[in-house]
Structure 1
């Protein structure tokens, strides 16, 4: 029986789909956009089986129809709009329609069709301002203080998912993702700010110097590790905790990433510059790391990629695929 993934053509959705297909599993991808051509070629060579359904997560009837047709035993809710301030100002309702409404609709469909296991994918953005002063961010003790509508909508979706799971008797776990980068990341129309590592790499590939506002330290999560962490949560039913951080487990410096990029792109340059700058770090502060002790203890998950290993893998991936898919709009 397959795993049903909403937002399957988004950044993390593609990475998780690839992870499951490589393990020989069956996946049903649900997304408003078609599968990118590069992903279709790559996934066709994997041992698992993929079926794609085009649909909008805001339409409960479409979700239920797709689940009745494919009879998945597991659901992963990944469809999301990662909004910047411009989108917050112009179309705030659309953020909640997808990030909250899409989760509510997916869980209702899961309850109606007998889905056994649900992994709701949330975000470290729910910690918000708590990340300014903390030593580490813990699932069960750090206050949730989201600052933007993305984080606010993700916090609301977490609470709604847990409540609906209790009402319907669903086996649900929440995975809060750290800040991801790596294969399949692209400007899709609903990912308003690309990760800083990709912003830097794109400038190097174009031969453009990069000016960073500071030498940021963050627990950058390579998306292959993100997918492996999500799979670890998905594969272990009846976990002892309702919420887990899925993060890198270490802090990395952007200067180290820039050095790796520079080594792969001779002649490229970067610098720290207060003004003007080319790289957007999301916030004017470096967020505290997300603690993954509970994820390690309850699933055995161990991240594989530090920044050096991630750079080697990511650069090779981009050479093979000629960059990343650019098809827009995933919901």
Structure 2
């Protein structure tokens, strides 16, 4: 298929692109940011099947012209992933990019007969509900609180409503706590994972001192990308919303310890009482996402657990030493 990923040169976009290219699809990355040189080198083997187009997500004319060239599927991955500081500074921008900018893309997809659109949403859409239940499935009512969470939930409802009104084949995917290859903080992403922050501390020659264990339903980004690829390829999905997660809780501290064990001299530990740490956990506790829907319909389960993802990330950084 010919697939366009909006936000394609970002963290999640690059992981999805790799998964799709490996499955022999043609991929166009549309993003305001250039394709990083490290990614360009890494993906060079795919030749003309990969294209990067620089452009703004709010440029409706440029986007319509791109889709008019002939597109089988679209991934809506452009978003401002905002913590409290970025929300304070750019409240309107969060809503503009995460919700309003999608509407011309959806209308263009309908107009030009795009077969499938997959909107990358977030577990944050569950909001305060995540602290009140033991597990979050796709039928659990949402109670989004932050502007980021509100924007992701609103994007889901907008995508679903466009499908109802115009007959588009549109899906929403709620991704849990992501980490892994190609992650980097930026002006539109100020919530780096604990794993990224651990690796950044190691790169500075410092111990990774954790404020707490960091219990989350972490998922290694290549696993999430494989799930997205499955949903793009699915002939007739039975649902319009899917959770994508490891499906259980485990601590980032354990991941840091597993990574450190592969590299003698590194240390990851909890902060002592009164000890300062630059590592920051973003967001309050949230129950894990149920992945029964993805497992029952597609047989999909995340392959990488804590130790496996630490080993995989170590191998990846061996090939991409300059990344962190």
Report the TM-score, using the length of structure 2 for normalisation: 0.95
State yes or no: 1:203 paired with 2:201: yes
Q: Residues 259 and 311 of structure 2 are in contact (CA less than 8 Å); yes or no, is this contact kept in structure 1?
A: no
CA separation in 1, counterparts of 2:52 and 2:91? 29
Q: Do the aligned residues in 2 keep the contact of 1:30 with 1:55 (CA within 8 Å)?
A: yes
How far does residue 261 in structure 1 lie from its aligned partner after superposition?
2.5
Residue 40 (structure 1) shift: 1.1
SS for the counterpart of 1:232 is: helix
Give the Cα–Cα distance (whole angstroms) in 1 for the partners of residues 194 and 317 of structure 2: 16
Residue of structure 2 equivalent to 1:277: 277
The whole-number CA distance in structure 2 between the counterparts of 1:238 and 1:172 is 11
For the 8 Å contact 2:194–2:214, the answer to whether it is kept is no
Is the 1:81–1:190 contact (alpha carbons within 8 Å) kept by the matching residues of 2? yes
1:158 aligns with 156
Structure 2 counterpart of 1:39: 39
Structure 2 residue matching 1:95: 3-state secondary structure: helix
Q: CA contact under 8 A between 1:27 and 1:51: conserved in structure 2?
A: yes
In the alignment, structure 1 segments of 5+ residues that lack a partner are: 326-331
Partner of residue 320, structure 1: 319
Moved over 4 A (4+): none
Q: Does 1:175 align with 2:173?
A: yes
**2:90 maps to which residue?**
91
What's the counterpart of residue 61 of structure 1?
A: 61
- In 2, Cα distance between the equivalents of 1:186 and 1:127? 25
Q: CA RMSD in A?
A: 1.6
**Separation in structure 2 between the aligned mates of residue 252 and residue 290 of structure 1, nearest angstrom:** 13
CA distance in 2, matches of 1:66, 1:38: 25
Q: Which is worse superposed, 206-215 or 238-247?
A: 206-215
Shift, 1:48, TM fit: 7.5
Distance 1:154 1:255 in 2: 28
Structure 2: which 5+ runs fail to align? none
Aligned residue number for residue 107 of structure 1: 106
Distance of 2:241 and 2:22 partners within structure 1 = 26
Larger displacement relative to structure 2 (205-214 or 227-236): 205-214
3-state SS, counterpart of residue 45 of structure 1? helix
Residue of structure 2 in register with 1:239 after alignment: 237
Tell me, in whole angstroms, the C-alpha distance in 1 between the residues paired with 2:37 and 2:252: 31
Counterpart for residue 263 of structure 1: 261
Relative to the length of structure 1, the TM-score reads 0.93
Indicate the structure whose relative CO is greater, using CA pairs within 8 Å and at least 6 residues apart. 1
Contact 1:24 1:47 in 2 (8 A): no
